[in-house]
Amino acid sequence: MATEKTKSNISTKTLAIIGLMTAVCCVLGPVSVPIGAVPVSLGVAAILLTVYVLGMFKSVVATLVYILLGAVGLPVFTGYQGGFQKLSGPTGGYIIGYILMALIAGFFIDRFSYKKSYMHVVGMVLGLAVCYLFGTIWFMFLTKMSFVAALGVCVVPFLLFDALKIAFCFTMGLGLRKALTAAHLMNYYE
Q: Which pLDDT tens digits describe the chain residue by residue (190 residues)? A: 444 444 456 788 889 999 999 999 999 999 988 877 677 899 999 999 999 999 999 999 999 999 999 999 999 999 899 999 999 999 999 999 999 999 999 999 999 987 899 999 999 999 999 999 999 999 999 999 999 999 999 999 999 999 999 999 999 999 999 998 898 888 775 4
Measured CA to CA, the distance from residue 37 to residue 52 in angstroms comes to 29
Sign of CA dihedral 75, 26, 117, 123: negative
Q: Given this model, what pLDDT does residue 150 score?
A: 95
Alpha carbon distances (Å) from 132 to 51, 97, 123, 135, 143: 18, 7, 14, 5, 16
Asked whether the beta carbons of 107 and 85 are under 8 A apart, the reply is: no
pLDDT of residue 190: 47
- Map out the domains of the chain with their CATH numbers: 14-181 (1.10.1760.20)
The overall pTM is greater than 0.85: yes
Residue 1: per-residue pLDDT: 44
pLDDT value of residue 39: 75
The pLDDT value recorded for residue 143 is 95
Q: Counting Cβ atoms within 10 Å, is residue 102 exposed (0-12), middle (13-18) or buried (19+)?
A: buried
> Closest Cα to residue 58, out of 91, 93, 25, 81?
25
Q: Return the H-helix or E-strand segment holding 66.
A: helix 56-71
Q: What is residue 184's predicted lDDT score, i.e. its pLDDT? A: 85
Torsion of CA 190, 98, 23, 31, to 10 degrees: 140
